[in-house]
Amino acid sequence: MNTATIQYLESYLTPRRQQLFKEVLAERTRFLTVAIEDVGHLHNTSAVMRSCDAFGVQDVHVIEELKGKRIDREIAMGAQKWTTVHRYDSTKNALDQLKQNGYRIVATTPHHTAHKLEDFKLNQPTALFFGSEKDGLTETVIEAADDYVYIPTFGFTQSLNISVCAAILLQELTQRMRNSALDWDLKESDILEIKELWLKRNLKDYDALLNQYKTQE
């Protein structure tokens, strides 16, 4: 969709919503992304999506190889209203796509020689992989990973819930990213793509307005 079409559709938003789009997009990133591998509890998937939105991470990659397509109900509830969800039926497909797009694959796991979060270096586009609550990440991810990271714990509990782990990592890494010289912000083509997505989800008469604009061209 071109800039003129986007501007036409944006004119049907309130000035406040237009300004909010502008402010949020200025902090949005695709430098960091998150991949969720066969997470069993839907509320955790929803919580990770909300954390991505809260910390400005646009893309969420959901792998549904073992448990099938189970996030539809969560999506219907609006958990991914502001994020772009990419769905895969195999872990290998997700890994191949992310590597092709230039991402370093980072497995979040306390069970592998890894960097503590405080020692982890963020210096290139990174995809953080999170595994299921019970079994963690599969060997497919562990073997394909370029790096590993974990959050040190100091109590009797040795592991954190996936959604808590994601929130901690995203808060720390996005803060570092924004305070760095890294080229983390969105390109103009990304901004147009995301605006189109948000307009579809915010304008009740989106299709009618789009058709109306096309007839005026």
* Residue numbers belonging to the annotated binding site for S-adenosyl-L-methionine: 108, 151, 160
Residue 105 to residues 86, 95, 185, Cα–Cα distance (Å): 16, 8, 20
Q: What is the CB neighbour count within 10 angstroms for residue 137?
A: 23
Binding-site residue numbers are: 108, 151, 160
CA pair distance 30, 13, nearest whole angstrom: 25
CA pair distance 55, 171, nearest whole angstrom: 6
Matching residue, tokens 């969420």 = 60
The token pair at 23 is 């402010």
Instruction: Report yes or no: 60 and 34 within 8 Å, Cβ to Cβ.
Output: yes
